[in-house]
Structure formats: C-alpha cells, structure tokens
C-alpha cells in the first residue's frame, strides 16, 4: 500500500502481542481515509489501528495533525470517505445518523478542551445531563442504585465527590466554578452511566502543571473503576508517562508522514 | 421533549435580560392587538346595547344616523321638532303598541335633560331587553320632579331630594338658567352603561312649564312662580322624537314607510338596529386601520425576538456542541430553538393578556365615566383565541429560522467549535 514504514502497525501489533488475547477490541480502524468537503488533500490516512478495552491511550500530535478530525470520527460525528471504524464491535459507518447519535449517547463520554459545562445548569444537573439522551446509561445507574430515590442524582453526587468536588459547590451554577473544578465536573459527566469509551480532548490545557497531573490521576482512577477505555488527546508530551500507551498522530497519519518526508528530501537537496 | 423543554427554559433564564425584553416586546404587541380587539368589540356591544326592544325611532326629517345620535345617544341636536298632533296620530295607530315621547333641548351642568312620560320607565329597554330600574326612589309624578341617571348622581353627588336647576340649551350660564323653577330628585336609576346614565329625566309637562315666558327662545316675560304653574295643565305643542313599539314586528317596515311618507309633516322613522349597524360601519375604516397597526406591532415584536435569538446563536455554538457530544441529535437542537421561541412567545402572550386585564380593570371605570362605554372584563372570544393561536404559531414558525441555522451549525461544527 505504501513505501513508507508505518509506525502505527508496528505499535498496534507490538501492543496486541503484549496484551492478553482475551481482552476485547475497543476501537479498530481499517484503511481509514478522511477528507473535509471541498478540501484538496486527505487529512487522515490510517491503514490500521487497534485499541483494546480498558487501555489508557495518549494521543499526541502538533496542531493540524488531525487530532480533532480523528475525534470527530471516533465520536461518530463525521464518517470517513473510505475505510472502516469499529467501535466496541460495531461498524459505525454502517449506522444511520440517528443510530450513530444514539451510539454516542450510550457508549461515549466526552470531555472538551474548555467551556465544558452548560452555564445555566447547576453542577449536579450538568452531570445528570449525560443520561438525558441515553436510556442505556440511565438503566445502568438505576440498576446500581435500585433503592435510591433519585439514582441519577445519587450517582452524579458520588462521582463529583470521588473527583474531589466539595459538596457545597455541587448545587451551584456551573459558571461559578474555577476551570479546574469545571474540568472535574466534565469528567464526572463523561463517566456517568459507565460508558465504554471516554474521550478527552486536551482537557488539561487550561490547567497548571500540578492541577494537570492531579486531574489526570483522578480521571484515570475513575475510568479504571468504570472499566472504560480512555483516549486522551494532548500536545503536551510531559503527560505521556502517565499513560499505558502513546500514539503520535503525526506518525500515524501517513499523509503527515509523507509531507514530513517530502520536506526532509527538499531540505537535503 | 420534557427534558428539552426544561433545557430550553433554563437556557432562557440564563439570558434573562435580553429574553425579558423580547417577552415584553411580544407582550406589548399582544396587549395592543387584544386591547384594540376588546375595545372594538365592547364598544360595538355597548353601542348595540344602548337601545333594545324598540321597533322605530321617529323624528323630524333627517339622516338616520343623525336621528339615532340625537335621540338615543344625546349627541348633537335635532333638525326640527315634531308636532304633538302628529305624535298623537301615530300613538293611536292600529299597529302601535306603545310610544315614548322625547323632548330634548335643556341641560344641567353638561348633562342632557329629557322630557318624557312615565311610559319611558316602562318601555325603554337596553342590553338584552333589560328594563330600567331604580336604585333609589321612583318615577316622577309631580311637575317639578326629576329622575337622574347613575352617572349624574355619582358625578354631581346628587341624592333623593337634591335640588336641580335646569338650563336652557347646553350652555349652563346665568342668563339661560330656569333658576326660579328648581326641580327635586325623586329617583335615581341603576347604571345601564348607556346614555341613560348621563340623562336627567323630567315630565313633558315640566318642560312646557319651565318654558313659559321663553317662547322667543330667551327669557323675556315675567317669571311665573312654581306654585302658579303647578295648578295648570300643560300639553306639549311639539316634541323632539318618539320611540315606537309595535304589536307585531312584521309591521315594522310598513309603518316606517307610512311615517316617512307622512303628508302633514316631513318625518323620518328609523329601525334602531339598522341605524346602529350603519353608524358602526362608518367607523370600520378606523377599526381596520387600528387592527392593521396592531398587526404591524406584533410583527415588529417578532422581529425583535428573532434578532435576539440570532444574536445569541453564535455564542451558543459550544452549548450545542456539548449537547451533541451527549448524544443530542441535530433534530434535538432544532427543537430546542423552536421551543425557546415558543416559550418566549407563550410567556409574552400570557404577560400581554395579564397586562390587558389589569389595564381594563383599572381603566374601565374611567372609560365608563368619560366616554359612557361599558368595558366588562370578559373571557376571550373565539376570535381573540384564534388571534392568540396565530401569534403563538407565528412565534414557533419564526423560531424555525434560528433553529435551521443552529441545526446546520451543529452538523458542521460537530464537537470542534472555532469561534
């Protein structure tokens, strides 16, 4: 398919070999190509890529390397022009838009870079919002708290407490919180109803170093507790050691590689 | 849907200043539209309720609106008088069941004085054939006794036995007053919401009596004493108009034609319902103009709401992206925006209706007092409910514009917002 050595295949193969074969595959990409409408060049070109369940994956890459595009594909907002995306065993390219939205509501917890919360809702209501569009997530919580009067709220409060958010701010408006607190609320919302995939898009970019590390550790603890697969996107290489596995998107993306090589050849000449 | 409604409501609360302004704009336009409609309908009803169960109004030859205005509404003046003999002729007509003579021309502190007989209290009906009733006292049966309308009593603070000095014509100045012949209030009529409330009723004989010495139109003779007049019999020579009730309604047009063709004197007979309709249709141009202005105000209100929704849309792209990340479909985003505009519109309508009733409750005594129009706090008519329905529907339709834009944005933005 290509003259270039693809570090992705190598990485995923090594990773797969080192893992227990019994652990199911969470994400599988095959021959994936994506081009934005009206754009000249392909922004993502990934021959193959696999992540097993409960893996904590760090995805890094410079600006323009296609991080956001990859996330829009993994969250089933966009579909690739070519190739296959399998999430939790479901080929999401085969789903209708409505089914893809439902799949996202049921299985994906998403943390934005910043401005994660709806400012007009209270902290607890923001967290509970995760169950508004998913009866599956609601059901999971209801089963867990069968005796509670309001199971959704109980789970929201449990998650917020576990993420070190003081009880007295849980009923405040989300707009009253600091950025660090907002990110923890966003993490709580992403974990509500234990979705199988948690995707975090540079959630620590607005935090200082200490808060950043504390946030990631708390996030990982809770992700491990809910047995979810974590995909953490950042351009900050200092966070890399905190994760089981790292992928450099610039290397993954053949297009970027080709461009880099061409530039290198140009420089040599 | 319930959750979306809650979200929409909370989102609106978050932008309360601009949204409150939008709600007020809609409320004011609704207030104006319904207000115009209420005043129009009630003024029409009040007009139509002025006289009922009277088959013909007869006066000297003139246009039917002029005759209606001076005889029933006490507005303007008669073109001429009717001879008493003519009145007697028609009083004894075989088709006629009852007649009530009217003699107008005097006043008391701006209130018209009506000379009539006691048949007036028996046969004059207003609204839905409601007869006149006394809140105090009784009808006159002596020469210098008067029965006053509810407004006269209230405005001038008159009670039973209060003295009244009538004035010749509508000018209540010294040299035109019949001040040597004071009247005494013997009855106060219950409010009717008609010009009756603003009228002072005396007997026809009293009208004749106070004009002894005024034959030339001004007082030139000597002043007879009340006692000397009381002993005399007065038969009017002329009256201004008279009301006719027929034995059978079938004869209405036949008698009308006979009166209009009366050879001895030029007369006009009008059917009050038809004249009222003609009078009202004269005002329909103004009525339509008011309605059109109110509709334009409603449109302006909607444009204001649309502007505020569109302005906020760009700021809210991240909000939409969050909802999309949580599994909301573009249709949910669409519905959210339409619901928001529906809520603004609904609250505007409720506020507008609240303001309307508040203003009507506060203003109706003043309107009644100054214009004689009885405005009642009524439930909304089907037409008004339809108007409200149209406004609410338009609010939802207007909401489609920002909703389509938000729908498109949420499709293209996905979860990456670049503002």
pLDDT digits (tens, 9 = 90+) for A86-130: 999 999 989 988 898 899 999 999 888 776 788 888 899 999 988
Residue B405: its pLDDT value, please? 87
A2 assigned to some structural domain: no
A120-167 pLDDT per residue, tens? 888 999 999 888 888 899 888 888 877 778 889 999 998 888 888 888
Residue A197: its pLDDT value, please? 93
Compute CA distances B269 → A190, B204, B243, B244, B367, whole Å: 86, 21, 9, 9, 31
Report which of residues A174 and B177 the model is more confident about. Answer: A174
User: How open is the CA angle B13-B16-B18, to the nearest 5 degrees?
Assistant: 140
Number of Cβ pairs < 8 A linking chain A and chain B: 64
| DSSP E strand stretches across B257-328 | 267-270
Q: Domain of A158?
A: 7-268
**Any CB–CB contact under 8 A between A114 and chain B?**
no
**What DSSP designation does A113 have?**
S
Residue contact A101–B329, C-beta within 8 A: yes
Question: Which of the four pLDDT bands, split at 50, 70 and 90, describes residue A17?
Answer: very low
**Any CB–CB contact under 8 A between A64 and chain B?**
no
Q: Who's near A126: CB < 8 A, 6+ residues apart?
A: A117, A118, A174, A185, A189
Residue B248: its pLDDT value, please? 92
Per-residue pLDDT at A9 exceeds 60: no
Q: How far apart are CA B319 and CA B335, in angstroms?
A: 14
Residue contact A133–B11, C-beta within 8 A: no
Q: How far apart are CA A222 and CA B41, in angstroms?
A: 68
A1 assigned to some structural domain: no
What's A78's domain CATH number? 3.40.50.300
Residue A2: its pLDDT value, please? 33
Exposed (0-12), middle (13-18) or buried (19+): which is A96, by Cβ within 10 Å?
Answer: exposed
- Tell me if B47 sits within 8 A of B26, measured CB to CB: no
A26-70 pLDDT per residue, tens? 899 888 888 887 777 778 888 888 888 998 989 888 877 788 888
Q: Is the ipTM of this complex over 0.90?
A: no
Report the mean per-residue pLDDT for chain A: 80
Q: How far apart are CA A206 and CA A209, in angstroms?
A: 10
The tokens 């038809």 sit on which residue? B274
- Tell me if B112 sits within 8 A of B199, measured CB to CB: yes
Q: How far apart are CA A25 and CA A23, in angstroms?
A: 7
Q: How far apart are CA B352 and CA B137, in angstroms?
A: 44
Q: A115 contacts in B (CB within 8 Å)?
A: 318
A231 assigned to some structural domain: yes
Q: Who's near B280: CB < 8 A, 6+ residues apart?
A: B44, B47, B48
The domain tally of chain A equals 1
**Any CB–CB contact under 8 A between A118 and chain B?**
yes
Per-residue pLDDT at A256 exceeds 80: no
**Any CB–CB contact under 8 A between B318 and chain A?**
yes
Compute CA distances B21 → B9, B302, B336, whole Å: 16, 12, 20
A100 assigned to some structural domain: yes
Low-confidence ranges of chain B (pLDDT < 70): 1, 169-179, 212-232, 368-375, 411-419
Q: How far apart are CA B202 and CA A33, in angstroms?
A: 102
Report which of residues A264 and A113 the model is more confident about. Answer: A113
Q: A120 contacts in B (CB within 8 Å)?
A: 10-11, 13-14
**What DSSP designation does A201 have?**
E
Residue A198: its pLDDT value, please? 93
Q: How many percent of chain A have pLDDT more than 90?
A: 13
């Amino acid at each position: 398919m290509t003259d270039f050595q693809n570090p992705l295949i190598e990485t995923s193969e090594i990773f797969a070999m080192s893992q227990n074969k019994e652990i199911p595959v969470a994400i599988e990409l095959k021959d994936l190509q994506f081009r934005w409408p009206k754009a000249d060049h392909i922004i993502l070109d990934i021959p193959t890529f696999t992540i097993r369940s409960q893996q904590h994956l760090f995805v890094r890459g410079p600006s323009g390397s296609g991080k956001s595009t990859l996330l829009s594909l993994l969250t089933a907002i966009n579909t690739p022009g070519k190739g296959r995306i399998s999430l939790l065993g479901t080929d999401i390219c085969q789903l209708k838009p409505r089914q893809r939205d439902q799949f996202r509501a049921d299985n994906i917890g998403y943390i934005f870079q910043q401005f994660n919360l709806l400012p007009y809702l209270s902290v607890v209501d923001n967290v509970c919002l995760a169950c508004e569009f998913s009866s599956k997530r609601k059901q999971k919580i209801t089963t867990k708290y069968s005796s509670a009067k309001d199971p959704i709220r109980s789970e929201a409060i449990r998650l917020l407490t576990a993420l070190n958010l003081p009880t007295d701010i849980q009923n405040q408006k989300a707009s009253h919180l600091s950025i660090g607190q907002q990110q923890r609320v966003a993490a709580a919302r992403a974990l509500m109803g234990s979705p199988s995939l948690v995707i975090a898009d540079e959630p620590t970019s607005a935090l200082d170093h200490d808060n950043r590390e504390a946030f990631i550790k708390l996030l990982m603890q809770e992700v491990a507790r809910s047995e979810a697969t974590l995909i953490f996107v950042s351009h900050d290489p200092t966070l890399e050691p905190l994760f089981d596995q790292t992928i450099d998107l610039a290397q993954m993306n053949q297009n970027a590689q080709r461009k880099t090589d061409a530039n290198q050849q140009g420089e040599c000449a | 849907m319930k959750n979306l409604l809650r979200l929409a409501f909370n989102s609106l609360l978050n932008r309360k200043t601009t949204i409150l302004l939008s709600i007020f704009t809609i409320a004011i336009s609704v207030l104006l539209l319904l207000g115009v409609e209420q005043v129009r309908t009630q003024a029409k009803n009040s007009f139509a309720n002025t006289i009922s169960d009277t088959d013909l109004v007869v006066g000297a030859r003139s246009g039917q609106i002029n005759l209606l205005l001076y005889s029933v509404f006490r507005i303007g003046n008669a073109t001429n008088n009717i001879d008493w003999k003519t009145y007697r002729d028609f009083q004894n007509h075989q088709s006629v069941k009852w007649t009530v003579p009217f003699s107008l021309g005097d006043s008391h502190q701006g209130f018209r004085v009506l000379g009539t007989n006691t048949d007036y209290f028996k046969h004059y009906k207003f609204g839905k054939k409601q007869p006149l009733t006394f809140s105090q006292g009784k009808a006159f049966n002596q020469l210098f006794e008067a029965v006053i309308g509810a407004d006269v009593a209230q405005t001038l603070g008159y009670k039973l036995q209060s003295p009244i000095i009538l004035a010749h014509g509508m000018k209540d100045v010294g040299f035109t007053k019949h001040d040597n012949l004071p009247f005494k209030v013997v009855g106060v009529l219950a409010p009717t919401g008609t010009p009756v409330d603003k009228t002072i009723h005396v007997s026809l004989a009293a009208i004749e009596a106070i004009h002894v010495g005024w034959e030339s139109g001004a007082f030139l003779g000597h002043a007879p004493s009340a006692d000397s007049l009381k002993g005399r019999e007065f038969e009017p020579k002329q009256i201004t108009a008279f009301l006719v009730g027929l034995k059978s309604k079938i004869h209405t047009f036949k008698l009308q034609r006979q009166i209009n063709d009366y050879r001895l004197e030029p007369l006009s007979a009008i059917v009050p319902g038809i004249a009222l309709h003609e009078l009202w249709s004269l005002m329909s141009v103004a009525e339509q103009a008011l309605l059109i202005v109110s509709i334009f105000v409603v449109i302006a209100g909607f444009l204001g709401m649309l502007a505020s929704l569109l302005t906020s849309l760009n700021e809210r792209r991240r909000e939409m992206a969050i909802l999309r990340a949580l599994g909301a479909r573009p249709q949910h985003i669409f519905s959210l925006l339409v619901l928001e505009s529906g809520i603004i519109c609904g609250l505007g309508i409720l506020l507008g209706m609240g303001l309307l009733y508040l203003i009507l409750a506060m203003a109706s005594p003043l309107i009644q007092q100054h214009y004689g129009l009885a405005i009642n706090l009524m439930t909304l008519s089907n037409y008004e409910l339809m108007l409200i329905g149209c406004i609410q529907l338009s609010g939802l339709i207007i909401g489609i514009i920002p909703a389509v834009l938000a729908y498109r944005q949420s499709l293209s933005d996905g979860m990456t917002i670049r503002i």
